[in-house]
């Protein structure tokens, strides 16, 4: 029924003690100084070169997805987000997942397991918009894109944030 997670890429990256310290030193943000990597290097007692090399390697390995700003999407006017969930044939999931993932209004797109009979959906796409009409329009575009491969879908709007602390590795 559900496909096994064989497509998941398992990285061989084993963080060293210094990598771990580097994660802890930067997980809450990058220093706002002209030479941020030098500042971290001084904190950790190594050279700037060493920090740049390790950061670059973690980025190449995907441990750092990217270094970037995270806007508060509510403040930018994106007040609506709908978690759209789809039941598509398992043998089509890669093709369809990539198609959904490349839409500019989709911020996350994942293949997840079904839990039959309660939960038949195997493809998740988070859709953002500034108005209900915009979100509805986006969902309609996905319906058309999936066409006969859509065997059923649902949209779950968030009602309330119950907790939002983010993940922090222990210091």
* Residue of the chain from 5, 91, 148, 171 that contacts other proteins (CB under 8 A): 5
* Residue of the chain from 116, 148, 162, 171 that contacts other proteins (CB under 8 A): 162
* Residue of the chain from 38, 46, 120, 134 that contacts other proteins (CB under 8 A): 38
Cα(127)–Cα(108) distance, integer angstroms: 8
* Residue of the chain from 80, 88, 106, 142 that contacts other proteins (CB under 8 A): 106
**Residue closest to 154 by CA, chosen among 118, 129, 130:** 118
User: Are 129 and 135 spatial neighbours (Cβ–Cβ below 8 Å)?
Assistant: yes
> Is 17 one of the binding residues for other proteins (CB under 8 A)?
no
CA-based max dimension of the chain: 59
Q: Which two tokens stand for residue 55?
A: 């950061």
> Is 165 one of the binding residues for other proteins (CB under 8 A)?
yes
> Is 66 one of the binding residues for other proteins (CB under 8 A)?
yes
Residues of this chain, 111-140, that bind other proteins according to CB under 8 A: 111-113, 115, 118-119, 128
> Is 151 one of the binding residues for other proteins (CB under 8 A)?
no
Cα(134)–Cα(3) distance, integer angstroms: 33
The residue whose two tokens read 């003690």 is 17
């Amino acid at each position: 029924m559900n496909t096994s997670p064989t497509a998941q890429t398992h990285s061989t990256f084993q963080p060293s003690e210094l990598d771990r310290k580097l994660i802890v030193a930067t997980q809450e943000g990058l220093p706002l100084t002209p030479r941020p990597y030098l500042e971290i290097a001084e904190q950790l007692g190594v050279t700037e070169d060493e920090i740049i090399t390790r950061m670059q390697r973690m980025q190449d390995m995907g441990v750092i997805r990217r270094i970037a700003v995270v806007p508060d999407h509510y403040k930018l006017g994106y007040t609506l987000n709908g978690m759209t969930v789809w039941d598509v044939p398992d043998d089509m999931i890669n093709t369809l997942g990539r198609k959904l993932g490349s839409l500019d209004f989709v911020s996350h797109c994942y293949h997840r397991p079904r839990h039959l009979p309660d939960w038949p959906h195997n493809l998740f796409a988070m859709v953002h918009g500034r108005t209900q009409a915009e979100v509805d329009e986006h969902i309609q575009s996905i319906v058309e894109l999936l066409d006969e491969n859509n065997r059923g879908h649902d949209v779950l709007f968030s009602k309330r944030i119950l907790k939002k602390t983010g993940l922090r590795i222990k210091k």
